[in-house]
Structure 1
């Protein structure tokens, strides 16, 4: 006698699974039912009902209150990781379909980047992108740090390009380039021709550094503090080009990233590697986790690779301790 076959599993029909998942993802991202309701253009009670229905459906608690914010439980984080790409993919399907139909010959691309990235890293990449995709409207937003990440989180830009030390949990950072830390001085400075360079050798000379709120200043301070080596700051000023100009004028010395040193600096500056004391700085692409990247954004990110970055090697006037 033949064994009875197991019946196929039956699932209750869901009128619209997307609505509660969308309400959950927005609430988890924004930390507030009211802000999620504003983002979705629905009422707060509607979002609350969707969240309650989703928790009943899943059989677990997904959100809990922490102070004035709603935060995800462990189960909520697991569902968010699965649901966010699905929700954003479906929400973006109309635009993605239109872009797919018209190919890469139109649309727009918004990229956030700091001055150094725009000035030293992106010119070759932008030039090739515009040559290959002349009809794409490209906008470079000159912002750094938290400002660029705020634009990224609000979807005002498609991606950010730059350097990151600490990567927030909601972002993905893919480092592509690495640049050495360099000491720059006037060509006739005593440190320019010193056979071996130690961190203590920098103590007698005033440093020209970016403002304290920026990563470079904090990194320099951390290295000197950990090594218990005293240092003085002669001047705080923003922008690598300004710092290089003031160093060339003899107003102090500085510690910069090799990305900012060009062939035109050879005559006015001496540069020495400080890789034995300071970490390299990485530069790469930052995107929101789970965000759908348009064909334009994917094409631009694919161009950000070392073989397209053409520049002279950093120069060193003498040996340094490694």
Structure 2
């Protein structure tokens, strides 16, 4: 049984004529006649009554017509949905982000993708880098925005680097440090710091730099949300260190460069052995272009 036979049968049934069906299908009448006869022989039943001037359905033909019509409509709907996916008229992505997802490179890429593919829905899952990698390996995420991967993780994932982010001392506008042109980590030992939670990779990176400078300052608050951290710094409850792009557009905060400079290296990652959907292929292509620019 072929789809072509079913299509010809439905057209003959709807038009009550082999001739008109052939004209509508742009094929010869014998082609339609032979296809329907072959279908009847395969089923072992007569579907059409040809004894009258108009072709009509037999009792068996009416049952067959009803079910085949539903099947053909389902096939048409399925093909249309698949074509929508291929043409990016629909789709769904689950992307993992860290609390630092607001950095410029991440926001820019997501905004550009949204503008190019407005019908693709994106769901975000916010976790620290370690949890994101676990979810990625468990096929719970399509992509993840991470930073400073270990060499071991790099061998297990496809990584598309994004522009690096310089880390800055973040303080209130009225804080004395806001008047400095630059500052070293060693000069910050007497300052009260507001940092992310101890399990956060970004916090661990900062602690490592302080320890290397032998100048670990006191931590007065530990916070999970970057926005709350920034609000507290703006109220002069303490200072912090953040990527420059998270500070520069906030009129209540000042960004003071560190000497020597410290950088964060963000990237988009996805599994090497994962079959990418059409939506994921489009996102990967855009992220790759961003990595190469």
TM-score by length of 1: 0.57
Structure 1: stretches of 5+ with no match in the other structure: 1-97, 309-322
Separation of aligned partners in 2, 1:144 and 1:195? 32
Structure 2: stretches of 5+ with no match in the other structure: 1-81
Q: Which residue of 1 aligns with 2:196?
A: 210
Q: Is residue 135 of structure 1 aligned with residue 119 of structure 2?
A: yes
Q: Which residue of 1 aligns with 2:271?
A: 288
Q: Is residue 125 of structure 1 aligned with residue 130 of structure 2?
A: no
Q: Which residue of 1 aligns with 2:220?
A: 234
Deviation at 1:286, TM superposition (A): 0.6
Task: Please say if residues 248 and 254 of structure 2, whose CA atoms lie closer than 8 Å, have aligned partners that are also in contact.
Answer: no
Q: How does 1:184-263 map to 2 (within 5 A)?
A: 184-194=170-180, 196-263=182-249
Aligned with 1:205: secondary structure?
coil
Separation of aligned partners in 2, 1:291 and 1:246? 41
Matched pairs, number: 209
Q: Which residue of 2 aligns with 1:42?
A: none
Q: Structure 2 vs 1, CA of residues 291 and 202 (structure 1 numbering), >3 Å: closer, same or farther?
A: same
Separation of aligned partners in 1, 2:174 and 2:102? 31
Question: Which structure features the higher share of helix residues?
Answer: 2
Task: Please say if residues 187 and 269 of structure 1, whose CA atoms lie closer than 8 Å, have aligned partners that are also in contact.
Answer: yes
What are the superposed Cα offsets for residues 159-179 of structure 1, whole Å, 9 maximum, x if unpaired?
112323325232222211210
Deviation at 1:116, TM superposition (A): 2.6
Deviation at 1:208, TM superposition (A): 0.8
Q: Structure 2 vs 1, CA of residues 124 and 223 (structure 1 numbering), >3 Å: closer, same or farther?
A: closer
Deviation at 1:124, TM superposition (A): 4.1
Q: Is residue 173 of structure 1 aligned with residue 156 of structure 2?
A: no
Q: Structure 2 vs 1, CA of residues 293 and 102 (structure 1 numbering), >3 Å: closer, same or farther?
A: closer
Which has the larger Rg?
2
Deviation at 1:297, TM superposition (A): 1.2
Q: Quick check: 133-142 or 202-211, which moved more?
A: 133-142
Task: Please say if residues 176 and 305 of structure 1, whose CA atoms lie closer than 8 Å, have aligned partners that are also in contact.
Answer: no
Task: Please say if residues 104 and 136 of structure 1, whose CA atoms lie closer than 8 Å, have aligned partners that are also in contact.
Answer: yes
Task: Please say if residues 160 and 287 of structure 2, whose CA atoms lie closer than 8 Å, have aligned partners that are also in contact.
Answer: no
Q: Structure 2 vs 1, CA of residues 223 and 123 (structure 1 numbering), >3 Å: closer, same or farther?
A: closer
Deviation at 1:205, TM superposition (A): 0.9
Task: Please say if residues 244 and 255 of structure 2, whose CA atoms lie closer than 8 Å, have aligned partners that are also in contact.
Answer: no
Q: Structure 2 vs 1, CA of residues 107 and 258 (structure 1 numbering), >3 Å: closer, same or farther?
A: same
Separation of aligned partners in 1, 2:214 and 2:85? 61
Q: Which residue of 2 aligns with 1:5?
A: none
Q: Structure 2 vs 1, CA of residues 113 and 291 (structure 1 numbering), >3 Å: closer, same or farther?
A: same
Q: Structure 2 vs 1, CA of residues 99 and 214 (structure 1 numbering), >3 Å: closer, same or farther?
A: farther
Q: RMSD in angstroms over aligned alpha carbons?
A: 2.8
Q: Is residue 268 of structure 1 aligned with residue 280 of structure 2?
A: no
